[in-house]
Amino acid sequence: MVDFAVALRCARLCQEIYRDFSGLRFSAYPDVEPVFVESQDNGFTDTQVAILNQLNSDRLYIVFRGSDKSIDWISNFQLRQQIYPYADGNSEVKFHQGFMTAYFAVRQALLDAMDKFEGQRVIVTGHSLGGALATIAALDLQYNLGSKHDLSFEVYTFGAPRVGNRAMVESYNGRIPNSDRLIYGWDIVTRVPRTWQGFDHVEKATQLGSRWTWQVLSRRFNDHSLDAYIAGLEAEIEAG
C-alpha cells in the first residue's frame, strides 16, 4: 500500500529540484542536508540529482531532476536497448540506451557520494525523465551498495516511462520490492516506450485522479504535470 505522505514529500522535492539547480538550497526543508551531483560529460547530457540526508533520521532521499523541456524529449532518445553492465556477461537485463546515457553522466559521482552512508533508508524519486533515472539508479545502487552498507531502498516515481526489458523488470521487482510507480489520469509518458518495442513497466502501479473525460487528447499531456500529481496525492491524503 502506498504511503501517500511519503509520496507527497517526494513529489514536492521533485518540484523543488526543477528550480535553478545552481542556486538550489532546499531552504524550505531545513531538516535535510543536500549534496548536489551534475553531469560529468562536458555538456552532452544535463542530468542533475540531489542527495538529501534527513537529519536526526535514517532517511536519505535521492531526487532526480526531470526534463524541464517539452515532453518531446521522450522521442529524441535512442530506443536501442543496452545490456546492464554490472552482471555477468550472460545477463539478459537491458535498459533503454538513452536513459542509460543520461544516468551514466552522474553514476560514478553518485556511487562515490553514497559510499559513505551506512544503514540508511534510501528513498529514490523522480518525475518524468527523472523517474526513469530513479528506477535505474535504485537497481544499480542496490546491486552495488545495498549489502555492502546495509542500505534499504524505496522508490516513488511520478509519470515515469518504461525503462527496460522483461528481464530488467524481473530483476528490479526482486531487488526493489518497495517501489511505487504513480500515474495521474491519462499521462502519456507512462505509456512509452511501447511494449511492442520490447519495454515493460516495473511494479507497482498506483492510479491517481479520474480517467473519465471527454478530452483524452489534451489530458494525455496535461496530466503529466507534476502539479497534477501533487494535487492527486493531496486528494488521497484528504480522503483518508
**Is residue 113 within 8 Å of residue 142, measured between CB atoms?**
no
Selected catalytic residue, list 67, 128, 171, 179: 128
Amino acid at site 45: T
Residue 36 pairs in a beta bridge with 50
137 closest CA partner among 202, 73, 63, 53? 63
**Is residue 168 within 8 Å of residue 95, measured between CB atoms?**
yes
Amino acid at site 85: P
The yes-or-no answer on residue 128 being catalytic is yes
**Is residue 66 within 8 Å of residue 131, measured between CB atoms?**
yes
**Cα 77 from chain centroid?**
17
The answer to whether the Cα torsion of 7, 25, 138, 115 is positive or negative is: negative
Selected catalytic residue, list 140, 180, 187, 223: 187
The yes-or-no answer on residue 3 being catalytic is no
Can you list the positions of beta strands (E) in the chain? 32-38, 48-54, 59-64, 81-83, 94-96, 121-127, 152-158, 179-184, 205-208
Integer CA distances (angstroms), 47 to 41, 80, 103, 105, 197, in order: 10, 20, 7, 7, 25
Q: Among all residues, which ones are annotated catalytic?
A: 128, 187
